Structure 1
Amino acid sequence: MSEPQHPIQTTAEFLRLSDVPPEAEWFANLTNAATRRAYENALQDFMRFTGIARPEEFRTVTRAHAIAWRDDLVRRGRSGGTIRHRLAALSSLFDYLCEKNAVSHNPVKGVKRPKADSNEGRTPALGDHQARKLLDAPDGATLKAKRDRAILATLLYHALRRDELCKLTVKDFRHERRGVPHIRVSGKGGKTRYVPLHPATGGLVYDYLETAGHGEDGDGALFRPVKNNTGGGLGKAITADGVYKVVRAYSAALGFTIGVHSLRATAATNALDHQADIAKVQEWLGHANIATTRIYDHRKTRPEDSPTFKVAY
């Protein structure tokens, strides 16, 4: 006879959960860490501007509030892309509130947003010589140098996002498809893609794992901190901020300070410049829309490809 089932939650706990406002539900449902950070920054800025202190106060927001906030962002010198993204975050919240019948309409709908400056990305891509220098920048045989070389190679040869790199486990580097080593990448929206492992990256990663000693921990984080283990953190994955600091420090020492996304832009631009098929590059990057991939395609701007040089009389 089976034992009687006892509720996991008490009645009081159940009632508290039923009282969670939909504004808090919306934020809790943002599973992507980068999206959560960006949307949280946007909503906190809006709350400071309007004086909102409690989630329920969002239901009093009107289109006039959204327009005034947009104009304030312009006055503060925020870029068109930043303003569009912040309005999109606010609009996403109100779409959810409409769905939950907490408000009757989305006050952000119809608010004019700044036009995109162009179809080209603003993230700077490195030249080939700069990329080679960056790959060689971590010098020596220390664990940190080996880890950093492996991180930079993984970013530059595989165009991973920062959060994707942080999520990698040891066994993610040990996949094989049709006899070719692949990396299993957990991308945006819970989508998984398999990217062929570049031989240069593979050698550096295995050298790092041999020195680090966690190569048999298949489910454990691949890239880990190498110091400041005050809370037992050496077994955890390197943080997104930790990856940022790695890229920032080495690039600054070489005289071209960049962020992590520049390495993704560099890889995409390099692949396209070397005649990679744009549809394949889209799949490689994990882009849902090929228009996003086209941002990295600078071939149309190269003078040598102009029809001018195709004319012959």
Structure 2
Amino acid sequence: MTDIQIVPSTGRLLTAEDFLRLADVPPEVEWFANLTNRCTRRAYENAIKDFMAFTGIQKPDEFRTVTRAHVIAWRDELGNRLLNGATIRHRLSALSSLFDYLCDKNAVTHNPVKGVKRPKNDSAEGRTPALGDHQARKLLDAPSGATLRTLRDKAILTTLLYHALRREELCKLKVKDFKHERRGVPHLKVAGKGGKTRYVPLHPAAGGLIHDYLELAGHGGDESGALFRPVSNNTKTGSAKAITPDGIYKLVRAYSTELGFTIGAHSLRATAATNALDHQADIAKVQEWLGHANIATTRIYDHRKTRPEDSPTFKVNY
């Protein structure tokens, strides 16, 4: 399904050939092309490819013959592979999104995924582990020395732990995004999910480390260039590439493994959110800070309800 290109092959104006070709693009391909978020696109592509392999679908228009029975059989097969409930729910959601689009385009009469029971949530709490305060401090101190790599890594870890950024958001930061001020306070300009921009106050600890990194790296004047770059490619003004999300993942994993607790980059976001809530940050403010569309997602990080000392048991007084 992803082999079909819907981008015109020539310039800004459509040729007659381009016009006819685009007029014949199946809605199944339109749906996929309309997914602009890279991570969502990759995850949905994997889910749809899995469904196509299971059902033997070869061409986009074959989706119009899918029934609820096909979807149930696929769901059961995913369970037989011992995939966890969250993964199965996500794959069903991807398929449901496709059929919702087909319904809107009148390509099918109904969504066969609707009505298919999905695995229940195991818990209202997130699965991503959050570090304790002592572990977070150890991680912040893990990059030692004054080399370009250690200065960059220390700045990255501090930025993640003090601002709860997604790794994709950190990779998108430009040098100019680090130089914003609002009411005299330095801010980070963050390009979040869904094309939404938010401004996050810059923590002084992160600000100082980023300044040190840029001074040694030498690209502080490259306003439109990537803020955090691979060490081997960080001084080419304008053409330098940003560090990748995979690079961030490997960086966090390497330092945390050395300390005896192997985690991924998303754990730093969970750590920041949990720490802020534990220190009485307003949950609505944390929602805005994290860039969550729904406060229910933010509540995943709120562990205050599980602390024994906060139980109504200890509020009873006879």
After superposing the two structures, state which structure 1 stretch, 10-19 or 100-109, moved more. Answer: 10-19
Normalised TM-score (structure 2): 0.93
Aligned 1:143-162 pairs, distance under 5 A: 143-162=148-167
Q: What's the CA shift string for 1:283-309, capped at 9, x where partnerless?
A: 101111111111100001111112222
RMSD (CA atoms): 1.8
User: Following superposition, which runs of at least 4 residues in structure 1 exceed 3 angstroms of deviation?
Assistant: 231-234
Are 1:210 and 2:215 an aligned pair?
A: yes
Are 1:190 and 2:190 an aligned pair?
A: no
Deviation at 1:232, TM superposition (A): 11
Deviation at 1:215, TM superposition (A): 0.7
The AA in structure 1 aligned to 2:299 is: R
Match of 1:54 among 32, 53, 59: 59
Match of 2:256 among 251, 258, 262: 251
Match of 2:283 among 278, 284, 287: 278
Flag the 1:94–1:164 CA change in 2: closer, same or farther, 3 A: same
* Matched residue, 2:229: 224
8 Å Cα contact 1:184-1:193 kept in structure 2: yes
Unaligned runs of 5+ in 2: 1-10
**1:152 is paired with a residue of what secondary structure?**
helix
Aligned residues: 307
After superposing the two structures, state which structure 1 stretch, 108-117 or 52-61, moved more. Answer: 52-61
Are 1:289 and 2:267 an aligned pair?
A: no
**Residues in 2 aligned to 1:135 and 1:243: alpha-carbon distance in whole angstroms:** 15
* Matched residue, 1:89: 94
Match of 1:39 among 35, 40, 44: 44
The AA in structure 1 aligned to 2:29 is: A
The AA in structure 1 aligned to 2:245 is: A
**Residues in 1 aligned to 2:60 and 2:282: alpha-carbon distance in whole angstroms:** 47
Q: What's the CA shift string for 1:175-209, capped at 9, x where partnerless?
A: 11111111111111111111000000001111111
**Residues in 2 aligned to 1:74 and 1:273: alpha-carbon distance in whole angstroms:** 36
* Matched residue, 2:110: 105
Q: Calculate percent identity across the aligned residue pairs.
A: 80
Unaligned runs of 5+ in 1: 1-5
* Matched residue, 2:33: 28
**Residues in 2 aligned to 1:281 and 1:228: alpha-carbon distance in whole angstroms:** 35
* Matched residue, 1:305: 310
**1:227 is paired with a residue of what secondary structure?**
helix
* Matched residue, 1:3: none
Normalised TM-score (structure 1): 0.94
**Residues in 1 aligned to 2:114 and 2:279: alpha-carbon distance in whole angstroms:** 42
Deviation at 1:234, TM superposition (A): 7.1
Are 1:201 and 2:206 an aligned pair?
A: yes
